[in-house]
Amino acid sequence: MKKLGLIIVLICGSLMLYGTIDFPDWADPSSPASTHLSPYFIETAMHDTAVPNIVTAVLADYRGYDTMFETTVIFAAGLACFFLLRRFQRRAPDVNLFRHMPTGITLRIKKGGKVPVDSSEFERIDSIWVPYDLIIKTTCRLLIPFILLFALYVIAHGHHSPGGGFQGGVILGAGIILYAISHNLRAAKARIKERFDAYMCSAGVFIYVGTGVLCLLMGANFLDYSALAPLLGTDPIMARSHGILIVEIGVGIAVMAVMICLYYNLSSAGRQDEGL
């Protein structure tokens, strides 16, 4: 079986290598891509969409379909991780550890013992003993707002500089993951619940597709943002620019939610009670 697989891989690989012979050379100025496509985008992107960053214009406007399905792929990756890893049977741990906050004493409560009432004085901690680290917690609490702010900047500034929904979404997700690492998984889940995360996941994709459908309803092609001009109250060219921003926000939300979902499931082996 293994040999058969190897043979198939070798045949496919050699066919693909054979196919690359027909490709134009690297940086060939007379290739179709650089004689037709690139000059067209360079010359018309600014007039058509009022977006100075041509990459963003091509990504979210001219190639809107492509990016929509990229977002769907990310959503599918999150779903796959959820279905493969998530385990719902709750297994009561043998020992529960609690920390008394004012004194720093750790309580060890065996199965069946009386668990302290959830108050501000007691904090449940993981069975893999985690010391109370003031330095890391304080620094992360200082840094996370700046990280999230920077992520929003990256999303919103994708029109003018490198950035956009994917990058900004990853930074947003990383901010939340940093919070989960510096405290623990339960603290992060208290902020962003699993259900909320799942809603955000689909909401991101929904915003993207919904924008496209809205364009259809306004009587234009799917994802032709210039049709949104009457809704946004601007001229068609600026409407394309705003449409790109709406779509980028959708991408950002989806990517952030998927990143968080991946971290929650991978760090706790799908149980989501204790993790890193």
List contacts with other proteins (CB under 8 A). Answer: 131, 133, 135-136, 139, 142-143, 146
The one-character DSSP state at 30 is: T
Among 184, 123, 178, 118, which Cα is nearest to 146's? 178
Q: Closest separation between CB of residue 1 and other proteins, Å?
A: 40
d(CA 213, CA 247): 12
* Residue 166 CA: distances (Å) to CA of 66, 83, 195: 14, 23, 22
The one-character DSSP state at 101 is: T
Among 130, 144, 256, 254, which Cα is nearest to 185's? 130
d(CA 243, CA 246): 5
Give the chain's length.
276
For the record, the structure tokens of 48 come out as 């058509």
Q: Closest separation between CB of residue 174 and other proteins, Å?
A: 13
Which residue, 29 or 131, has its beta carbon nearer to other proteins?
Answer: 131
Q: Closest separation between CB of residue 142 and other proteins, Å?
A: 7
Confirm if 201 and 256 have CB atoms less than 8 A apart: no
Phi and psi at residue 202, to the nearest 5°: -80, -30
Among 183, 175, 173, which Cα is nearest to 276's? 183
- The contacts of residue 129 (CB under 8 Å, 6+ apart) are 97, 106
Which amino acid, one-letter code, is at 210? G
